[in-house]
Amino acid sequence: MSPDLFFQYLFAGITYGSIYAIVAIGFNIIYNATGIINFAQGEFVMLGGMISISLLPHLPLPLAIAGAVAATMVIGALIEMVFIRWLESPSVLRMIIITIGISILLRESALHVWGESIRSLPYFFGNEITVLNLGSVHLSPQVLVVIAACAVMVAGLNVFFKGTPIGREMRACAANRTAALLCGISARNMVTLSFMLSAGIGALAGCVMSPITYTQYDSGTSLAIKGFTVAILGGLGNSMAAVSAGILLGVIEAFSVSVLPLAFQDAISITILLIILFVRPHGLFGSSEAARLKDF
Amino acid sequence: MRTRNTLALGGLCLLVACIHLLTALTGSQYYLTQLTMSAYYGLVIIGLGTLMGYAGQISIGHAGFFAIGGYLAAALTTRNLEPFLTSPPVRWLEALGMLRAGQDLYGARLITVEPWAACCLAVAAAALIALVIGIPVLKLKGHYLAMATLGFGTIIYRVLLASPYFGEADGISEVPGFPLLPAMGSLGPVVVSGDPGHRVMNYYLACGLLIVGAGLLLNLIESRVGRALRALHSSEEAAEASGVDTARFKLKVFILSAVYAALAGVLLTHFNGGIGPSEASVMKSVRYVALVAVGGMTNLWGTLLMGVGLTFLSLRGVFGTYDDAVFGMILIGVMLFAPGGILSLRHLLRGLLAGARS
């Protein structure tokens, strides 16, 4: 493989990897707050893309994206309030089935609203054929937008969780719900907030990736599986490890295309998921001692 | 088996016959085709119900096992083996009398596997895959188990979509009928096929198989194994402490449910005369889970009736373009308001009635 091709694959891998990382962080935020894996996470990404595309004829691009993120956050909050808030300590099996049901409903509603057609936002800078030349590597500026947006989101979340009072309260709830309740933190509101937050970042990722990957009513499902793979790779609940795990998976996938047919690309990431689940269910970066105390 | 179950199974046989008479009297025998298909899907659902309800293990990959059965049976009975006649595996099949010669559309020689042999091979393959996958997967719990089985189902789907041998996006068509018994005296041959002349016979075949399958599962649930499974469901640690080999029991039920799914896949493929990749899709697996949930996980009768009934309505196209949405809604509704299944609502109703009376 020539060095040019190598870097080309590498950048493609990093682009997809950073999107997977954002989806994985979305999983982690809700998992930390509630112990639930939200199987509808991929649908938030799809909704972000779809809503911004629908808003675009009426609003300038930045406002359309902001509108889409806000709308998806409202949808995320509504989902939590209607389906999850009032359940008293539901079993894991019940929660899995409910969130799968929610993902079907979101997908089917999207199908009825937007139809089966494949849509996309326009490129943020230039168009499909604008190319930045970094040495001998040719990149679309949108690739840099995606990577930058993901980096900003990760940094922003870090500041939010460590620096702001609300972020600290959310972490407190994740660490020990009862103790947080005793300190006067409303755990229920924190759960709603976690759904809003993870819907918001999912939607933003959906907007920035839409020009490259396109958006369709069912594009959420495979993203959710990839995102979950990444969340597991990094260790469930560990958002920062998810970033490195995401980029790792993205790069592996990008290079796999040079060896195997494209049709098997999804199968590869799932095989990685299965292997990780069997061998290191606590993730590549998790500690196996802490994992012994958890239930897999 | 307890008399109550025997009576219920007898009642089911009666119901099957009554439905046939009803359709015969009203001249609506075309309903029997979809009922036959629903009965085969019902077989998948009661198998999965035993795994989810009694062993407490979720599987969002059972469409994968259904597809393994269906696709292998379809491929083995339609793909020409003539160019491979000299290779050892094909020669073994020939030595065992598992091959049959025919002619294709253009009169060329067509060597395929006998349907009964293809059926045995397909079900055995599904059982073997369930064994290999089940050993590591069943060590996982909760979300991890759900995602791992979902991943398994997706891999099967992707592989089917990407393999020319399995027809890629087109699937496999022109699958021949499955002769179970040759013609005897005045009785015609017993064949699993979608031929309209065989409709009534196939209806009874599918329902008979479903009843036998349900009977076997009921027997299993009432037996020592069933008690062990229920102990396992309520607390795995306690079951293990009482000397139940939990891993082994979980694996056995997993394989059993995979065999039910694969058998249903084989027979439905012969009945429909083909199979497509949508049978392996995640949505199908989710639908099976939804039907088990609606019926009530620990209620085999509920699962059986709801499974066959709702599948029949769906196949009749009652839900139109909202088909998948309806199943999503059912899934959420049941899990939110009646986690014990729809039939558990009658206890609630009875309680309300009793309250109103007093």
Contact A97 B143 (CB under 8 A): no
Judge contact between B16 and B207, C-beta under 8 A. yes
Judge contact between A14 and A255, C-beta under 8 A. no
Report the distance separating Cα B14 and Cα B58, nearest Å.
33
Query: Hey, of A37, A274, A279, which one would you mutate to test binding to chain B, going by the most B CBs within 10 A of its CB?
Result: A274
Judge contact between A157 and A239, C-beta under 8 A. yes
pLDDT at A290: 58
Contact A267 B328 (CB under 8 A): no
Strand partners, B190: B181
- A87 touches B at CB < 8 Å: yes
Q: Sort out which chain B residues have CB atoms less than 8 A from A271's CB and list them.
A: 155
pLDDT at A296: 47
pLDDT at B357: 67
Q: Name the residue with higher pLDDT: B311 or B81.
A: B311
Residues 6+ positions from B12 with CB-CB distance below 8 Å? B211, B214
Distance from the Cα of A183 to chain B's closest Cα (Å) equals 30
- A151 touches B at CB < 8 Å: no
Q: How many residues does chain B have?
A: 358
Per DSSP, which regions of chain B are E strands? 99-103, 109-113, 172-173, 178-181, 190-192, 274-275
Contact A92 B143 (CB under 8 A): yes
Distance from the Cα of A96 to chain B's closest Cα (Å) equals 7
pLDDT at B265: 94
- A268 touches B at CB < 8 Å: no
Contact B325 A105 (CB under 8 A): yes
Report the distance separating Cα B109 and Cα B111, nearest Å.
7
Burial of B183 (C-beta count, 10 Å sphere; 0-12/13-18/19+): exposed
pLDDT at A232: 85
Burial of B21 (C-beta count, 10 Å sphere; 0-12/13-18/19+): exposed
Report the distance separating Cα A186 and Cα B152, nearest Å.
39
**DSSP secondary-structure letter at B111?**
E
Contact B142 A93 (CB under 8 A): yes
pLDDT at A124: 85
Q: Sort out which chain A residues have CB atoms less than 8 A from B146's CB and list them.
A: 37, 96
- A232 touches B at CB < 8 Å: yes
Query: Hey, of A37, A79, A93, which one would you mutate to test binding to chain B, going by the most B CBs within 10 A of its CB?
Result: A93
Interface subset of A 30-59, CB within 8 angstroms of B: 37
Please state the pTM of the whole predicted model: 0.86
Q: Sort out which chain B residues have CB atoms less than 8 A from A104's CB and list them.
A: 283, 286, 324-325, 327-328, 331
Contact A98 B332 (CB under 8 A): yes
Q: Is the pLDDT of residue B102 over 50?
A: yes
pLDDT at B183: 72
pLDDT at B1: 54
Distance from the Cα of A77 to chain B's closest Cα (Å) equals 17
Contact B144 A96 (CB under 8 A): no
Please name the member of A37, A104, A274 whose beta carbon is closest to the beta carbon of B327. A104
Report the distance separating Cα A154 and Cα A156, nearest Å.
5
Distance from the Cα of B131 to chain A's closest Cα (Å) equals 15
The string of DSSP letters for A46-108 reads HHHHHHHHHHTTTS-HHHHHHHHHHHHHHHHHHHIIIIITT-SS--HHHHHHHHHHHHHHHHH
Strand partners, B275: B172
pLDDT band for position B126 (cuts 50, 70, 90): very high
Please name the member of B137, B141, B162 whose beta carbon is closest to the beta carbon of A264. B162
Q: Is the pLDDT of residue A83 over 80?
A: yes
Q: Name the residue with higher pLDDT: A186 or B209.
A: B209
Q: What is the mean pLDDT of residues B108-133?
A: 90
pLDDT at A24: 92
Distance from the Cα of B282 to chain A's closest Cα (Å) equals 9
Residues B327-352: tens digit of each pLDDT = 888 888 888 887 777 666 777 677 77
Contact A104 B283 (CB under 8 A): yes
Q: Sort out which chain A residues have CB atoms less than 8 A from B321's CB and list them.
A: 112
- The pair of structure tokens assigned to B178 is 């499955």
Q: Least CA distance to A99: which residue of chain B?
A: B332
Average pLDDT over all residues of chain B: 85
The string of DSSP letters for A180-246 reads HHHTT--HHHHHHHHHHHHHHHHHHHHHHHHHHH-B-TTHHHHHHHHHHHHHHHH-TT-HHHHHHHH
Strand partners, B330: none
Judge contact between B149 and B61, C-beta under 8 A. yes
Q: What is the mean pLDDT of residues B209-213?
A: 93
pLDDT at A78: 94
Q: What is the mean pLDDT of residues A155-168?
A: 90
Q: What is the mean pLDDT of residues B10-39?
A: 88
Give me the total of CB pairs closer than 8 Å, taking one residue from chain A and one from chain B.
Answer: 115
Q: What is the mean pLDDT of residues B215-220?
A: 90
- A260 touches B at CB < 8 Å: no
Q: Is the pLDDT of residue A138 over 70?
A: yes
pLDDT at A142: 87
Helix axes A239-256, A3-34, angle to 10 degrees: 140
Listed residue (A112, A79, A113) closest to A98, CA to CA: A79
Q: What is the mean pLDDT of residues B184-197?
A: 76
Judge contact between B77 and B120, C-beta under 8 A. no
Contact B60 A100 (CB under 8 A): yes
Burial of B279 (C-beta count, 10 Å sphere; 0-12/13-18/19+): buried
- B8 touches A at CB < 8 Å: no
- The pair of structure tokens assigned to A159 is 């500041």
Judge contact between B126 and B261, C-beta under 8 A. yes
Q: Which of A36-50, A104-118, A240-254, B288-302 has the lowest mean pLDDT?
A: B288-302
- B158 touches A at CB < 8 Å: yes
Strand partners, B179: B191
Residues 6+ positions from A208 with CB-CB distance below 8 Å? A124, A142, A145, A146, A149, A150
pLDDT band for position B38 (cuts 50, 70, 90): very high
- The pair of structure tokens assigned to A239 is 């958002």
Contact B151 A296 (CB under 8 A): no
Interface subset of B 37-76, CB within 8 angstroms of A: 52, 56, 58, 60
Report the distance separating Cα B97 and Cα B106, nearest Å.
25
Q: Least CA distance to B339: which residue of chain A?
A: A94
Strand partners, B100: B112
Q: Which of A171-175, B152-156, B210-214 has the lowest mean pLDDT?
A: A171-175
Residues B237-271: tens digit of each pLDDT = 888 888 788 888 889 999 999 999 999 999 999 99
CB half-sphere exposure, A66, CA atoms < 13 A:
5
Which value, to the nearest 10 degrees, does the dihedral of the CA atoms of residues B195, B198, B200, B206 take? -80
pLDDT at A54: 94
